Structure 1
Amino acid sequence: MSFTFAIGLTLSFLSSLMTACAANTTAPSATDALAKTRRSHVELSRQQSFAAKRTLSKSVLTASMLMTSEYLWLIENLERLVHHATMFGLDMTTGAVYLKRLKAIRNVVQTKPNEICQWLPLLEDIVGALNDHADDFKRMDLWYQVIECDTVMEDLRDVCQAI
């Protein structure tokens, strides 16, 4: 899933970059030809700039939506893995605090997706606590999910640094 996110983000960025570099003006319409008005180079560059900004904002919006979906996937899996970790020996109080914070983060991200990046340090702490129980997760064949969460964390960290 994180690989799909990275590909989608990369394709979206490259698409906006190509559109910005190769923004063509549209052919003059019939009314422009009849009026025999010519646009100045300044007006053309403004139109190209506007088209590039519009395309870039669409790609940023797409990346934001992908980032939000990845974030919600991460939170959902961390909740499940924290529950398993409490069965493996993670302190019940610590597990309850993590679960409560994950629930709060989920609510905040659903209402204010632009605040995603501020919660990454807490999520890194949770992933670190899960890594302490690596042997137990390996025995239960859940270690790959911890690795996937860690990979998504790296992707989200990179996106947040780029923002």
Structure 2
Amino acid sequence: MGRTKTKYELITNEIARKATLKKRKAGLLKKLSELTTLCAVPACAIIFSSYDAQPDVWPSRTEACQVLEKLESLLEKQRGKNMMDQTILLKRNILQLNDRLEKQQKKNLDLEKELALVESMAGASNCDWNNLEQLNELSCRLQENIEFVSNMIEFKSG
């Protein structure tokens, strides 16, 4: 059985909210402990709550201060590699989407050329025969197809 999807909204019952915070905090700290043990990475957690006067600090205040000092002592360039804000994330996503768009546009152009080739071979072409560029592209596509078929014939016979 799969888990049901959790609705993420404010828990209106104060007692239930406090109990959920306590359970989730314990789970988070357990996962953080596992991460530091299994992967041998320094980590800390500081959890602020409206129920407690002091924030919860894991593993201890001194160890958390050491981790934060180590983070601050990294060079700006190294810190930039490990940290990301909303603008950096959006820029990276835009670059990835632009790359995907360029690849899709190239694929569409190749499909249009293939369609023009098929239509011209069938005799019902929408191709402008006076356009030298289209004719050159059609010629290149035909040459590629001829080479492909020739290679397939050689492979099958050899």
Judge same fold: TM > 0.5, yes or no: no
Greater length-normalized contact order (CA 8 Å, ≥ 6 residues apart): 1
The structure where helix makes up a greater share of residues is: 1
